[in-house]
Amino acid sequence: MLVLVANLGSTSFKYRLFEMTDDGAIDDIQNARCLAKGAVERIGDAQSKCTVEIGDWSNELTMSVPDHGVAVQACLDQLTDPENGAIEDASQVAAIGFKAVHGGRLSGVFVVDDQVLDAMAEMNAAAPAHNPPYIAAMKTLQARFPDLPLVAAFETDFHQTIPAARKEYAIPRQWADEFHIRKWGFHGASHRYIAFRSAEILGRQDARVISCHLGGSSSITAIENRQSVQTTMGMTPQTGLPQNNRVGDFDPFALPLILQRTGLSLDEALQELASKGGLLGLSNRSGDIRDVEQAASEGDSQSQLALDVFIEEIRRHLGGMLVALGGADAIVFTGGIGENDTLVRGRVCAGLEQLGIVVDPAANEGLRDRTNDLGEASFHAGDSKTQLWVIPTNEEVIVARQTLHALKHS
């Protein structure tokens, strides 16, 4: 069975096409073969860019793509290219699975219908950069491809197993009950993949694992028995660790002072916190960790501060995860920073020997030369009680498996 997995932005459509066995469980991450991947960028512009990779063949073309429905059609046209396509006909695609963000009262995996779209719309204020473009795209695709099932796999789903004492805010009960205000957690597909894959590597289904998804958007999750038991993101993806340009944890009672002193409206202040905060705000230079590290190495004090704050926040939350789990069998780094940034990995794990966490500096530095076919490698010392790993995540294969599971049980 063929499943197309979509990752949407307001002006982009990235996808992967998977060939799936239809008898596997959600955690059967091995029985999925990626046949093709591609993207449509600058949707709405007169000159949108469409790219595709199918085996050794790749293609890029420029065309007008006014909406996400046309983007999907362009994607299907490339996938069915007579000479190099991955499939013969678009009707072979069984469904499109979406890595959806926030469904509020709906947290799980659902075939998209009016109820799902309404639940997402209720959370527009909590996920303004994600939910509106997903809703618009889903409605467009429903109209253009009425016989093609759409499946929403919400990122909050993996965190439903977190105990109540770790997911409730100390707010009036009415707010929690009526407005669904709680610590929902995000990056669910990524942390779920790390949960399943680390269990395979360690040979233990009951392993205690701390998954550090560090990238443009970052979060940490404590995993036990392959289930989420604690995570850093809360009601929205804005909270927890500092992001590339998002504030992370922030005292809401500072907002009245900001509004009074700047003259900004509440919406304007929130927009600044969501787009000019994080590494960008701290460094006053860039939200890209590579730029920040480079500037810090050249003596820029603000960039050094940004780097230090980022690492200290990771370490602070890492400590909380260790307490929640009572120790860890493995700490896993994933995401663009987690997989590629030797300095961040080394500094996060430094000085934790008394906690049984011991880095092999040479293994950390030379990790790229030691990875397996999946890009995985360890960098813990021989006497470390906690294993340290880099495991590239694969959110798309999780969403593909969830999509197939939803179709079978709808």
182 is in an annotated binding site: no
Can you read off the two tokens belonging to residue 276? 């000019």
Residues in the chain: 410
Looking at residue 374, the DSSP 8-state letter turns out to be: T
Buried b (16+ CB within 10 A) or exposed e, 105-133: ebbebbebeeebbebbebbeebbbebbeb
> Do 397 and 31 meet the contact criterion of CB atoms below 8 Å apart?
no
Cβ atoms within 10 Å of 49's Cβ, excluding its own: 16
Can you read off the two tokens belonging to residue 60? 């890029």
314 is in an annotated binding site: no
26 is in an annotated binding site: no
Looking at residue 130, the DSSP 8-state letter turns out to be: T
Q: Write the CB contacts of 379 (distance below 8 Å, at least 6 apart in sequence).
A: 345, 359, 360, 363, 364, 367, 388, 389, 390
By C-alpha distance, which of 105, 43, 389 is closest to 223?
389
Interstrand relation of 227-231 and 330-334 (parallel, antiparallel or unpaired): unpaired
340 is in an annotated binding site: yes
Can you read off the two tokens belonging to residue 200? 């395979």
Can you read off the two tokens belonging to residue 102? 């926030």
Torsion sign across C-alpha atoms 126, 131, 136, 138? negative
288 is in an annotated binding site: yes
97 is in an annotated binding site: no
338 is in an annotated binding site: yes
- Tokens 């999780």 belong to 398
290 is in an annotated binding site: yes
339 is in an annotated binding site: yes
Half-sphere exposure of 124 (CA within 13 A, CB side): 9
Give the residue numbers of the binding site for Mg(2+): 7, 395
Give the residue numbers of the binding site: 7, 14, 288-290, 336-340, 395
Give the residue numbers of the binding site for ATP: 14, 288-290, 336-340
